Amino acid sequence: MGVLRLQLPTDPRWVNIVEKNIEEILTDHAWCEQKAATNAITIITNNPEHQDLVQDLLALVKEEVDHFEQVHNIIIKRGLKLGRERKDEYVNELYQYMKRSGDGSRVSGLVERLLFSAMIEARSCERFKVLSENIQDEELAVFYRELMESEAGHYTTFITYARKYGVGIDVEKRWREWLAFEESIISNYGKNETIHG
């Protein structure tokens, strides 16, 4: 999967599941965007001394909130309803891995959070690509193509800052470990009408 370096691609047949419940995928997607914005705000809150990181993540937060609004507008336009926030088991597994992996230092904590964020963006980008190429709904195909490009940019932002501020940490080695862990869990997903499920 090229630049994303994901080890296991999503089976395109996942889109057949998605198409059976568009309201559910849109609701789940909307909340994914909200959680992505919240995650970036958390990184800003914990690392205010890195001015360039703060600036770039502020821009990212605005983009994620804008995506939330775009998804919500599609929901309204189609006469659907935004359901309550969904639990994301995939992200929770990544989160637990992140919590176990740091050495307790601020640098390690920042790098782990950035790699956790990069991993989610990478998989979301890949899922949006699969949706854009396989979904029968033309409006959603175009929408997910546009979002795929945006998510790729977010992935790059997180990886770049992990490398910049990961002083004393072999960030490349750590990222390979993240990719291997993600490969070990992703085969359990892709069976539900959710972005990561």
Residue pLDDT, tens place only, 76-89: 999 999 999 989 99
Q: Domain with 130 in it: what CATH number?
A: 1.20.1260.10
Q: Is residue 5 part of a domain?
A: no
The identity of residue 96, as a single letter, is: Q
Q: What is the pLDDT of residue 64?
A: 97
At residue 167, does pLDDT exceed 70? yes
Q: Is residue 153 part of a domain?
A: yes
Q: What is the pLDDT of residue 197?
A: 81
Q: Is residue 50 part of a domain?
A: yes
Q: What is the pLDDT of residue 114?
A: 98
Q: Is residue 195 part of a domain?
A: no
Local confidence band at 6 (pLDDT 50, 70, 90 cut-offs): very high
Q: Kindly report, residue by residue over 32-53, the tens digit of the pLDDT.
A: 999 999 999 999 999 999 999 9
Q: What is the pLDDT of residue 2?
A: 65
Q: Is residue 184 part of a domain?
A: yes
The count of domains in the chain is 1
Q: Is residue 193 part of a domain?
A: no
Q: Is residue 70 part of a domain?
A: yes
Terminal-to-terminal C-alpha distance of the chain? 19
Q: Is residue 19 part of a domain?
A: yes
Distance from C-alpha of 154 to C-alpha of 177, rounded to nearest angstrom: 20
Q: Contact, 54 vs 47, CB < 8 A?
A: yes
Which three-class secondary structure state does DSSP give residue 18? Answer: helix
Residues spanned by the domain of 126? 13-188
